[in-house]
Every structure is written in C-alpha cells, then in structure tokens.
A and B are shown apart, each in its own frame.
Chain A
C-alpha cells in the first residue's frame, strides 16, 4: 500500500501498478448518482411532506419508497441494463451506471429528506406564513435551510452506498480494464468494487492479482468509512446547533 498504488494505472496484465482509474471511476459514478438522485429525492420529499397530505395514494407511495430501499441491488442492475443501457440506448457507460446507482439510492435520499423536513418545527412555518409568505417561499427560505443538515446526511450515506455497490454497475457501467480514464460520459469505466470482483474471478495470475484485490478492498473500505464519518460529523454539528 503506497501512494503510487492510488495514483498509477494497472500495468502488465493487471499484475502491477495501481488503481487510479478505478478510483476516479467510482468517484464519477457516485457523483453522477447524487447529481441525479439529490434533486429528485428532495423534491419528492418536499411533495410528500408539504403538499401530499395523508391520502391513501400517498401512503402507498411511501410504502413503495420504503420497500424499494430493500430491493437487492442486483435487481437494480438488471433494471439499469433494461432501461438505461438498452431502452434509452446509453450503452454500458458512466451515465447508465450513474443513473442506475441514482435509482438505487433514491429511496434512501427520499426517506432521510422526508424525515429531515418533517422534523422542521411547525412554529417556523407558521411564523413565515404569518408574515405573508406563501408555501413555496416558506419551503425555500425556511424549511429547506433548516432541514439541510439532515438532507446532507442522507446524501452522504447515499454516496457511500453508491461508491460501494458492485451489482448495479456490472451490467451498466463497469469494465475490467481500460486504458486511461473515460473520455465521455458514454464511455465504460473502471470502478473499485468491480475491480475487486474482476481481479478475484477473471484474473489469470492470481498470485499477483489477489494482493491487489485486497489492497483495493482496503481503499474502498477506508473510503466508505470516511464518507460515513463525514455524515456523522454533519449530523452531530446539526444537532449541536439545534436549539428548537
């Protein structure tokens, strides 16, 4: 384990070199997933809390969202293959993978955002309404800023999940090896979890490749740990500032 392991590309039939492309690939996939899931998730949460009321339909949607977060990730992988790769014709690419991972973390982001928005005291909304604000203004200026630390926690947990998942990207984004980094969002990409999987199952020189796989696993583990620690810090700071 050294710096060069992090910043070099694999060499000599994956028996030497580093994991740089996989690191970048995972970063791209996770950020893409968040870029897609964050706005959609927060807007859905706002709708569910502030507009939807408590109708039967809404309860069904909510149950659906909660159930989705328990669906095995390989199913999301197949879904991504069918919809993004084939139906939308995006191919096996960063974009397809990001979208698939986005769909995977969407339920988490919706649920966490919904909780955060619901936790904003009614007092704040009333104060805003009493000053002549309409609902949208109130949500934009009072509800969302107050709920932000909670929403961010959800986002970071989502990033952690998206960075670590293997199954959703096998069919939609990942490749065993490519020269250099992807040049566009429609290129295949290497990614940390798939790199491990590939080294362990498709490697031809296991005596060199298995140590690399373990090294990659360690990096991935530390990465996810760091991300979750970030989420804990944000939650902690938010809680300390909270005085209502």
Chain B
C-alpha cells in the first residue's frame, strides 16, 4: 500500500496575469521518487517550487488551491515557512554551493537552525557528506573552498547541505542539467539510496532519466497535468495522446 506524503488539490498558479499552473491534482507517494517531466516552460519547476513555497519570494506570484504535506496545508496562515523549508529541502539546477569551505556549506543549515556545539556539527556534517557519497573525496580538505570542487561534486555537496538539516522531502530541480554523464550516473545512484529515507520529487526534461530513476511520473504540458501514474505504466502504455506524442518525440 502506497502512503501519500504530499497531496496537491486544485492548484492554480499565476505570475502576474499569466496562469502558469492549471488546476493541478495529484498525490506524491512517501519514500519514493516521483518525476515531474514535460517540455520546457510547461511549469514543472514552478510546480516544484510550490512544494516548499520558494515562489513566495517572487513578486506578483499568486496561488489558489492546496498543497497538503503530512495532513497540513502548507499555505495555511499558521504555517511557519522557515520550518517548512527545513522539512522540504531543495537542490537546484545549477550547483550553488556558497563561496565558503566545504564544511561551512554543510554546516550552514545546521547553524542557522541553532546548532552551535562543535562536535555535534562535525558529526552531522560528516554524516551528511557520507550520505551524499562525497565524504571520501573531500575528507582531506573539508576546510578547503567548495567552489574548487568539480560540478558533480558541487552538486553532491548541495545534496549534503540539504540533507544535513534532516528534511522529510527532497526536491530536485533538474539536478543533472549541467553535469556530464558520469557525474549524472553518480547522482542517480545516490537518489536510489536516498529514497529509503526521503520522499523525492525530481523535475527533469530528460525522459531517460525519469524512466531510470522514478517510481512515479507526472507529465505536465502547458501548465496542465496530462497524466500521472507509475513510471512503467506511463512509459509503456500512456493513456493520453499528448503523453504518447511526447514520449515518441513528436513534441517537446
């Protein structure tokens, strides 16, 4: 039995007057990988950013409907958005470590949420780096600058930074878009491991990537949710003509 972690109900989203997401309804299962795919500009990143309220930061953004995580509507007035973002971590398209040391990058989230104890910090940073499959590559230079790492290492550092604060959910916004195939393979392998502990939502416009890593797939087009279901089923027997067209390369 699949347990739902996130439920999206009648979600509409506007940038200014432009309607970007149209009445989205689906549920994201716990401790699985759900891919959101679709052609560029279909609103998939916007949808992802509705899940940790990153869109709040954009002027002129407006939203109706509900996003329910663990039974709580995250857009309810009583919700503390900072606690929400601690619980729903995010990794971006372009690796964006801070211009600080490797250690400081991972410790950042812990520190801003009040952890001061040096030993605890060190233990948690090390654990997060191990969980992100990065520790062995950087253990000799934890205090060296993060920006000297390779792109793939930087992205795994960003994953370590996100999981250090122990979120429940990890959002990935095209995490491999700027990486080579080898670095991409490492991240995908990591995702497989991470899904034991985290509910993962990944935005990708790479079909093969969705097919390789995702348990469930949502297909978005022009702001509409065309189809959602188990990845196997979506890829083998799409129910909507538009999904089939996209999968066979006729659009996109």
Size category of the binding interface on chain B: 20 to 34
> Chain A, 110-142, contact with B by CB distance < 8 Å: what is the 0/1 string?
000000000001011011111111100100011
Residues of B136-187 contacting chain A, CB below 8 A: 145, 147-148, 158, 161-162, 165
The count of chain A contact residues (Cβ–Cβ below 8 Å) is 22
Complex interface: chain B residues within 8 A of A98 (CB)? none
- Check if A132 sits within 8 Å of B108, measured CB to CB: no
Separation of A50 and B193 alpha carbons in the complex (Å): 39
B122 within 8 A of A: no
Give the shortest distance, in Å, between B89 (CB) and chain A (any CB): 7
Complex interface: chain A residues within 8 A of B111 (CB)? 141
Complex interface: chain A residues within 8 A of B84 (CB)? 132
Choose from B82, B147, B158 the contact partner of A132 (Cβ within 8 Å): B82
Stretch at the interface among B68-76, B93-101, B194-202, B228-236: B93-101
Choose from B57, B97, B99, B165 the contact partner of A131 (Cβ within 8 Å): B165
- Check if A130 sits within 8 Å of B147, measured CB to CB: no
Separation of A126 and B173 alpha carbons in the complex (Å): 13
Separation of A137 and B113 alpha carbons in the complex (Å): 10
Contacts between chains A and B (CB distance < 8 A), count: 71
B124 within 8 A of A: no
Complex interface: chain A residues within 8 A of B117 (CB)? none
B83 within 8 A of A: yes
Residues of A122-165 contacting chain B, CB below 8 A: 123-124, 126-134, 137, 141-142, 145-146
Choose from B59, B90, B98, B112 the contact partner of A124 (Cβ within 8 Å): B98
Complex interface: chain A residues within 8 A of B162 (CB)? 130-131
Q: Give the dominant DSSP class at A's interface.
A: helix
Given A132-B86, A243-B147, verify A123-B112 contact (CB < 8 Å). Answer: no
Complex interface: chain A residues within 8 A of B52 (CB)? 130
Complex interface: chain B residues within 8 A of A141 (CB)? 108, 111-112
- Check if B109 sits within 8 Å of A131, measured CB to CB: yes
B92 within 8 A of A: yes
- Check if A137 sits within 8 Å of B147, measured CB to CB: no
A211 within 8 A of B: no
Separation of A127 and B98 alpha carbons in the complex (Å): 8
Choose from B108, B147, B148 the contact partner of A128 (Cβ within 8 Å): B108
- Check if A123 sits within 8 Å of B85, measured CB to CB: no
Complex interface: chain B residues within 8 A of A131 (CB)? 85-86, 89, 108-109, 112, 161-162, 165
Separation of A29 and B98 alpha carbons in the complex (Å): 37
Separation of A93 and B201 alpha carbons in the complex (Å): 65
Q: Which 8 A-B residue pairings sit nearest by Cβ, starting from the closest?
A: A132-B86, A123-B96, A130-B90, A131-B109, A132-B85, A243-B147, A132-B82, A127-B96
Taking beta carbons and an 8 Å cutoff, which residues of A are in contact with B?
53, 121, 123-124, 126-134, 137, 141-142, 145-146, 241-244
Taking beta carbons and an 8 Å cutoff, which residues of B are in contact with A?
52, 54, 57, 59, 82-86, 89-90, 92, 94, 96-100, 108-109, 111-113, 145, 147-148, 158, 161-162, 165
Q: List 16 A-B contacts (CB under 8 A).
A: A126-B54, A126-B57, A128-B108, A129-B54, A129-B57, A131-B108, A131-B161, A131-B162, A132-B82, A132-B86, A141-B108, A146-B99, A241-B99, A243-B99, A243-B147, A244-B99
